[in-house]
Amino acid sequence: MKKFKFRYIAGIAIVIIVDLLQLITPRLTGDIIDMLGKNTMNTYNLTFYAGIIVLVSLLVFILNYFTRVLMQGASNLIDLRIRNDIFRHLTKLSLNFFNRKPVGEIMALAINDVRAAEQALGRGVMQIAQSLILLISSIAIMGKTVNPKLTLAIFLPLPALIIIMSKFGKLIHSRFLKVQESFATITAKATENISGIRVVKSFVQEENESSNFKALNERNYKINMALVKVQGAFSPLITLVSTLSYCISLLYGGNMVLSGTISLGDFVAFNGYIGMLVRPVAFIGMIINFIQRGKASASRVEELLHEKPDVFDDEKALNNNLEPERKLKGNIEFRNLTFSYDNMSKPVLKDINLKIEQGKTIAVIGKIGSGKSTIASLLLRLYNPNSRGQIFIDGTDIMDIPLELLRESIGYVPQDNFLFSAAVKDNINFSPDEKDLEEIQNAAKISQVHDNIMDFPEKYESMVGERGVNLSGGQKQRISIARAIIKDPSILILDDCLSAVDTSTEKRILDGLKAIMKDKTCIFIAHRISTIKDADEIIVLNNGRIVEQGTHEQLIRLKGFYYKIYQRQMLEEQIQSA
């Protein structure tokens, strides 16, 4: 707000000029009537007064334009800044926040709540300034140029007005808060169903999901109608109370004219000022509506901006002498690692002890839910270890390594293979460093997706659609692998990212990776033994613990957990080939 103080001050200064100019017209009108009544008006004077009124109206028009540009422009700039701050803040928040907050709710807050706050800071502030200044200046000139007693008399309904504003203001605030929360819920439901439309259609759940949405939509309608009823009663009630001022003016002021206390021109001018007063009073409903909506939305935005990330660089990491320009070597060590996602849940990983030397390829295999992907999340510090001294990279506690350096050193291919709604080349080159087309193509060739891309109509310029909807599962996986390769990371983590490719393509990808990963650390997380059998060491997880460890041949000879997985997969292959 401080940054835009000048715009608001300049806008309010112009509002003062505009409101003072508007006071001229009723007074001139009253003078014209008095002069006409006394037969002292001639054509020249009438034309002169009419010219002044036109000139005043023109100046009011021009100055009002600049008021709106300044004040609403300031609110738009605040809107711009808040949206940027929200987006930047969201990118810094930890995964725990997104695990508990639906995407639709975040979107509703970033769009709807910010818009309500912007309206309060734009139209709301402008209407407050105009109404207050016009109110004060009108009262002053009415008391000074017409009659003080008559001026005081028209404010007899004021106490009733204050009570109405106080009661309805609180009611509007609470009901608008419910409206915003309801909008967030319905947006979350719509976002979820659109994102999962293939699942909805596959399970023939269109009618069921439509019914669920209809129920939420009807609830949203009722909550909105509860607010509309309050707003619908509030503004007319303000107008009704302010109309009493007209009645007092007509009765009391009319008698003053009859008794000769004030002239007919004064009476007309006075009613002109009342007309000017009625407008800001009528705007009170709109102003309170804007302000209460803005307050409710601002509290929700403020709550979001005060969310603290769980994962961040502490003072020790910030003061670490590690150079951000260089990458880590890739020596990894887990020391008695036990991890749970929160204090209430049981550990996902238990007593993990493991050393991975630079340049080695390690594979992790195990049943679903055994903690394989959690290892990748911890190495990326998407979640913090439960305590220090459990994960080390190059001999440094992972908690003491700056996040930027850590994540720049790791190439990660997640299970869900998320792609952005952008060109293929932009999805591969998802990096601050701009890579040329040749580097992008080399990465695509290693991941065995180059030939597919060349078959696309626009080749590397082809749009993949939201979340890669235009691509097959295998193509999405291979583009994700190319995206990790082009980073030239010292640590490459592949989390079950070859499940959607056939075995011959898988072999070509693995052969290509061997050539570029000679001095780099590679961690394969997989269910398919064909993906990991050539690894330097295979880690077998079960219920969060390392139950077996060794090369493929050693684990086969052991005839334990790994051997059973191997036998089952061999049998499946034989059945499929039969």
pLDDT at 199: 59
CA distance 304 to 299: 9
563: helix, strand or coil: helix
Considering the chain, what is the average pLDDT of its residues? 79
Which residue reads 């009901």 in tokens?
Answer: 175
> How confident is the model at residue 467, as a pLDDT?
63
Confidence class for position 418, pLDDT limits 50, 70, 90: confident
Of the two residues 187 and 284, the one the predictor is more confident about is: 187
The pLDDT value recorded for residue 303 is 79
Q: Does residue 335 surpass a pLDDT of 70? A: yes
The answer to whether residue 561 scores a pLDDT higher than 80 is yes
Backbone dihedral region for residue 468 (phi beyond 0: left; psi -120 to 50: alpha; all else: beta): left
Torsion sign (Cα): 133, 139, 143, 148: negative
Q: What is the DSSP letter of 252?
A: I
* Rg of the Cα atoms in the chain: 36
Distance from C-alpha of 532 to C-alpha of 361, rounded to nearest angstrom: 9
3-state secondary structure of 395: coil
H or E stretch at 365: strand 361-366
Q: What share of the chain is helix, strand, coil (3-state, %, to 5)?
A: 65, 10, 25
Residue-by-residue DSSP string for 87-136: HHHHHHS-HHHHHHS-HHHHHHIIIIIHHHHHHIIIIIHHHHHHHHHHHH
d(CA 249, CA 263): 14
Q: Tell me how far apart the alpha carbons of residues 324 and 119 are, in angstroms, rounded to a whole number.
A: 43
pTM for this model (two decimals): 0.69
Cα distances (angstroms) measured from residue 475 to each of 163, 440, 470, 479, 522:
66, 15, 10, 6, 22
- List pLDDT tens digits, range 114-126: 777 777 776 667 7
Strands (E), 417-544: 491-495, 521-526, 537-542
321, two tokens: 């002498």
Task: Please choose, from the candidates 175, 185, 293, the residue with its C-alpha nearest in 3D space to the C-alpha of residue 224.
Answer: 175
pLDDT digits (tens, 9 = 90+) for 450-505: 888 888 888 888 877 666 666 777 788 888 888 888 888 888 888 877 766 677 77
Residue with tokens 């705007």: 283
DSSP secondary structure string for all residues of 200-228: HHHTT-HHHHHHHHHHHHHHHHHHHHHHH
Dihedral over alpha carbons 229, 233, 235, 241 (to 10 degrees): -170
Residue 1 has pLDDT above 60, yes or no: no
pLDDT tens across 35-91, in order?
Answer: 777 777 777 778 887 888 888 889 888 888 888 788 777 777 777 788 888 888 888
Please give the order of strands across the beta sheet that includes 537-542.
410-413, 491-495, 521-526, 361-366, 537-542, 545-550
d(CA 55, CA 20): 14
Q: Which residues contact 354 (CB under 8 A, 6 or more apart)?
A: 332, 333, 334, 362, 539, 546, 549
CA 138 to chain centre: 44
Domains, the chain:
2-305 (1.20.1560.10), 328-409+491-578 (3.40.50.300), 415-488 (3.40.50.300)
Separation CA 344–CA 386 (nearest Å): 13
Model pLDDT, residue 495: 84
The pLDDT tens digits for 165-211 are: 767 777 777 787 788 778 778 777 777 776 666 556 555 667 777 88
Tell me how far apart the alpha carbons of residues 240 and 27 are, in angstroms, rounded to a whole number: 26
Residue 108 has pLDDT above 80, yes or no: no
Cα–Cα distance, 381 to 391 (Å, whole number):
10
Q: Which tops the pLDDT comparison, 515 or 535?
A: 535
Of the pLDDT bands very low, low, confident and very high (cuts 50, 70, 90), residue 429 is: confident
Portion of the chain with pLDDT greater than 90, in percent: 1
> Can you give the pLDDT at residue 197?
63
What burial class does residue 493 get, using C-beta atoms within 10 Å of its C-beta: 0-12 exposed, 13-18 middle, 19+ buried? buried
Amino acid at 81: R
Greater confidence (274 vs 565) lies with 565
Contacts of 502 (CB under 8 A, 6+ apart): 474
Residue 542: CB atoms within 10 A of its CB come to 15
* Least confident span in 231-240, 259-268, 313-322: 313-322
DSSP designation for 347: P
Listed in order, strand segments (DSSP E) in 209-346 are 332-339
CA-wise closest residue to 265 among 22, 26, 48: 26
Instruction: Enumerate the β-bridge partners of residue 364.
Output: 525, 539
> Which residues on neighbouring strands pair with residue 393, listed in sequence order?
332, 396
Residues 336-349: pLDDT tens digits?
Answer: 988 888 777 788 88
Residue corresponding to tokens 């002109």: 272
User: Reduced to 3 states, what is the DSSP secondary structure of residue 515?
Assistant: helix
**Percentage of the residues of the chain whose pLDDT score is greater than 70:** 86
Q: Residue 325 has what pLDDT?
A: 53
Parallel, antiparallel or unpaired: strands 332-339 and 349-356: antiparallel
Q: What is the pLDDT of residues 358-405, one digit of tens each?
A: 888 898 988 888 888 888 889 988 888 888 889 998 888 888 888 888
pLDDT class for 515, splitting at 50, 70, 90? confident
The answer to whether 138 and 273 are in contact (CB under 8 A) is yes
